[in-house]
Chains A and B, each alone.
Chain A
Amino acid sequence: MCRSKVAVSLTSFALLCCGLALAEEPPRYGFGRPATEAEINAWNIDIAPDGTGLPSGRGTVTKGAAVYAAKCASCHGATGIEGPQTRLVGGQGSLATDKPVKTIGSFWPYATTLYDYIYRAMPLTEPQSLTSDEVYAVVAWLLHTNGIISAESTIDANTLPHARMPNRNGFVSDPRPDLSKSMQRE
């Protein structure tokens, strides 16, 4: 008697588990094929804020000045201010004014994003053409020119995640909707 009750409850438990597993595991169709390590590595170019994904290599501010002059200055200006494309330098303290200037120094919250974006998308005419040493170097120059690291600094996979960006805490989650219904009707 006792024994059969246990058996029944065990069976129920097994059925329940089975049911849960079915509920949680959607049907699979068997489409697609396993990705190879080589395929993943070829496209896995994102860099996380903790530095995950950063490659080997290194760059100095001095080397970065040369890379910047050769590859970036024609669009962003000799000192990163003149343009004609996006301004990269300065603007710190301007975000709460009537004329905010959003730059790497005034606005960007993570230094790692510089590596990710510059390698991924720059220069506009030759994206993904810079070597890791060139990217580290131009990141070093941009951080230095924005007053974030010293002229003697070297940037690599170990140092970049620790560069302290001035606007690191400047972002908030989306609180919308902004307006109460009564405000909207006014």
Chain B
Amino acid sequence: MPVLGAIDKGSPMSQQNEGKVVSSELDGNNPVGRRAWLISAVATIGATAASVIAPSLLPAAEQSDTDPTRVPGRMPSPYGARASAETARRLTTATHSLTPHQSLHGIVTPSALHFERHHNGVPAIHPDRHRLLIHGLVERPLVFSMADLTRFPSVTRMLFIECSGNSGKEWKGPTGKMVQETHGLMSTSEWTGVPLSTVLAEAGIKPDAAWVLAEGSDAAAMTRSLPLAEVLKEALLCYGQNGEALRPEQGYPLRLVIPGWEGNTCIKWLRRLKLGAMPFMTREETSRYTDLMPDGTARQFSFAMEAKSVITSPSGGQQIEPGFVEIRGLAWSGRGAVTGVEVSTDGGRTWDQARLQEPVFPRCHTRFRFDWRWNGTEAILQSRCTDETGYVQPARAALVAARGVNSSYHYNAIQTWQVSPDGQVTNVQV
């Protein structure tokens, strides 16, 4: 306990606990050590203890909202936490959680708010015991430890990951209230790892290998078959996310990341890569992540997430005031870089170019902004992006005309938010 160490720095107990009581060592040389201890004790023990301590002993900041320039702040901490007033959180279900894009800035999703989708829970894996097996059509079947994998030359990239089911409920109508519900199954991180091609070369790819089965060590032993030539171009075996190790929910300690492809191909907790001549036809690529068309056929191996954008502010559930409003949003394409975003405030009758935040990374969220003055009358807000292939994000009617409403996945239509005269923003479809 830090408290003990702070009271009697020289006691044997504090010596034993030395590694855990960094703040007490600072307190010892601090003229306001007692107040610092009280702050530390309150922060450590929490509100219950604070209410037990006599008010006269508490620093001023604990009694009322006094000027923070008149009371020392709290001590440095070994692992940071956000400000207590910040409450943005994922919405969770049994199988997934959703990123609160209405509350976020820029393009990076905080690791703690990165969306999750898993198929039988988040496994607890010790990195020292984790192994990656490479076998099948290779010259040398190999086993790698995490220490082995982190020795290879590494690469860092800013990339989005989007679940193919992101916005999937919108196929049947305007279902999500907030952008977190309509577009929360996507996030962007800085990913660090070793190129898949580097590691497979170590095992030696046999000439007849054309597909690779990637398998996780979760309780679903989640699998996907991936076309080898395609994934050799850009796929990474990642161990780093936003500067630290992967979060458990993102595949700790090792995740396959395939830039621009549907999230389920980015196998988490990766333990096995098996090379073969043909796709392995697991459940995930046959009955699960395939897209049913109106004629009854289903599209298979539909990997790329096509160009898409959404206004994150103002967005569903928010309230705006007349006057200047900066329209803010995200745009992305699994086929490359976003080259432009247009914004409409009149339901698509007229469009204006939004500003893109530089640098624009390929296969990554791009922040766009548009200056708007709201005059207090009904407005219909939309965004529409174009990617480097020339593909333009489709209107809902065009997408439904091409795919029907039963394909479950790959809904990338223009999102529409309606602003009513009282400033309320709601999800509508036009």
Contacts and interface: CB of A to CB of B under 8 A. Distances in A.
Contact of A171 (B142, B290, B294, B392): B290
Contacts of A124: 120, 219
A32 B199 CA distance: 9
B198 interface: yes
Contact of A46 (B152, B215, B287, B399): B215
A6 interface: no
A186 B395 contact: yes
A110 B281 contact: yes
B202 A32 contact: yes
B282 A171 contact: no
Contacts, number: 166
Interface string B251-294: 00000000000000000000110101010111100110010111
Interface stretch (B69-77, B155-163, B298-306, B352-360): B298-306
A135 B151 CA distance: 41
B233 to A, nearest CB: 14
Given A32-B202, A112-B281, A172-B300, A46 B223 contact: yes
Interface string A101-122: 0101001111011001100110
A74 B213 CA distance: 31
A124 B274 CA distance: 24
A5 interface: no
Interface string B398-419: 1100110010001000000000
A40 B120 CA distance: 23
B282 A46 contact: yes
A179 B394 contact: yes
Contacts of B120: 121, 124, 127
A174 B303 contact: yes
B291 to A, nearest CB: 8
A57 interface: no
Interface residues of B, number: 65
A174 B152 CA distance: 34
Contact of B221 (A121, A177, A185): A121
Contacts of B144: 31-32
Given A26-B197, A46-B280, A183-B398, A171 B286 contact: yes
Which residue of A117, A127, A128 has the most chain B CB atoms within 10 A of its CB atom?
A: A117
A44 B300 CA distance: 24
B295 A127 contact: no
B235 to A, nearest CB: 15
A23 interface: no
A32 B201 contact: no
B399 A35 contact: no
Nearest to B279: A49
Contact of A110 (B223, B286, B292): B286
B246 interface: no
Contact of A172 (B145, B278, B299, B398): B299
B374 to A, nearest CB: 27
Nearest to A98: B406
Contacts of A120: 220-221, 223
A93 to B, nearest CB: 9
A44 B275 CA distance: 12
A121 B119 contact: yes
B144 to A, nearest CB: 4
Given A34-B141, A44-B274, A96 B300 contact: no
Given A34-B143, A46-B215, A46-B282, A127 B221 contact: yes
A39 interface: yes
A31 B152 contact: yes
Given A172-B297, A181-B392, A117 B143 contact: no
Interface string A14-56: 0000000000011111011111000110011110110000000
A178 to B, nearest CB: 4
B320 interface: no
A171 B293 CA distance: 10
Interface in B322-359: none
A35 B299 contact: no
Contacts of A95: 292, 296-298
Contact of B142 (A33, A98, A109): A33
Interface in B350-372: none
Contacts of B149: 31
Interface string B203-243: 10000000001010001110100000000000000000000
Interface string B134-174: 11000011111100110110000000000000000000000
Contact of B141 (A40, A102, A108, A170): A40
27 contacts: A25-B201, A26-B198, A28-B202, A29-B202, A31-B149, A32-B203, A40-B141, A43-B271, A49-B278, A96-B296, A100-B292, A100-B296, A109-B281, A110-B281, A120-B221, A121-B119, A121-B221, A121-B283, A127-B219, A170-B297, A172-B297, A173-B300, A174-B301, A174-B302, A174-B304, A176-B299, A178-B399
Given A177-B391, A178-B402, 12 more contacts: A29-B151, A32-B143, A34-B142, A48-B278, A48-B281, A49-B281, A100-B296, A116-B282, A171-B299, A174-B302, A176-B306, A181-B392
The 10 closest A-B CB pairs, nearest first, are A96-B296, A95-B296, A35-B141, A117-B283, A178-B402, A32-B142, A26-B201, A174-B302, A184-B392, A32-B144
